[in-house]
A and B are shown apart, each in its own frame.
Chain A
Amino acid sequence: MPSYEEDLSEFERRNAQVLGISTDQVFSNEAWAKSMGGLSYPLLSDNWPYGYACAQYGVLRGEGRAERAIFVVDRQGVIRYIDIHDISEPPPTDKIMEALDKLR
């Protein structure tokens, strides 16, 4: 997640809001973000009902954690880009930017 912090102005330039989502509780996310010196975007807790949003997006793994996945949603609420990644690797930012560029 912190990798997106560096790219924040690039997201802003493309009129895009970054939202982090995991099944952690809000206090865990706050503590984590604080330990990294803070983030400039919100972290959402898909914790009650547990993993419901992750399941709706098809990214809830068997052990109850979200996969590392990116969904770009346009201003009409339509999914325009999906990248579901190996859990150890963050999705490449340049591909996300390309997808956002197509929306402008």
Chain B
Amino acid sequence: MAQPKRPVWRLKVGEEAPDFDLPATGDTAGKGGPRKQVRLSDYRGKKNVVLAFYPAAFTPV
């Protein structure tokens, strides 16, 4: 069975961003800082957030 090339589900501008709570490198990735959990809603009321999804580590940019 053929896989759809793109997922059908799409979010729209103006919708609430789904919250997540994910394990992460420290605030500085690869500089030896401690790992931590990052929750999107922790930035609420404080900072704008730019979510940059990318396919895989070690992919050429």
Residues on the A chain within 8 Å of B38, using CB = 19, 42, 44
Select which of B11, B19, B47 is within 8 A of A75 by beta carbon: B47
Interface size class of A (residues with CB under 8 A): 35 or more
Within 8 A of A (CB), among B5-24: 5-20, 22-24
Select which of A3, A46, A96 is within 8 A of B50 by beta carbon: A96
Tell whether, in the assembled complex, residue A55 and residue B56 are in contact, meaning their CB atoms are under 8 Å apart: no
Residues on the B chain within 8 Å of A78, using CB = 14-17
**How many angstroms between the C-alpha atoms of A67 and B9 in the bound complex?**
13
A101 to chain B, nearest CB (A): 11
| Interface of A (DSSP majority class) | mixed
**How many angstroms between the C-alpha atoms of A37 and B20 in the bound complex?**
28
Tell whether, in the assembled complex, residue A73 and residue B51 are in contact, meaning their CB atoms are under 8 Å apart: yes
Tell whether, in the assembled complex, residue A61 and residue B52 are in contact, meaning their CB atoms are under 8 Å apart: no
Interface size class of B (residues with CB under 8 A): 35 or more
Interface bits B27-55 vs A (CB < 8 Å: 1, else 0): 11111000110101101111111111111
Tell whether, in the assembled complex, residue A41 and residue B17 are in contact, meaning their CB atoms are under 8 Å apart: no
Select which of B45, B47, B56 is within 8 A of A17 by beta carbon: B47
**How many angstroms between the C-alpha atoms of A38 and B31 in the bound complex?**
5
Residues on the A chain within 8 Å of B61, using CB = 1-3, 90
Chain B residues at the A interface, C-beta cutoff of 8 Å: 3-20, 22-31, 35-36, 38, 40-41, 43-58, 61
Chain A residues at the B interface, C-beta cutoff of 8 Å: 1-4, 11, 14-24, 26, 28-47, 52-63, 65-82, 87, 90-91, 96, 100, 103
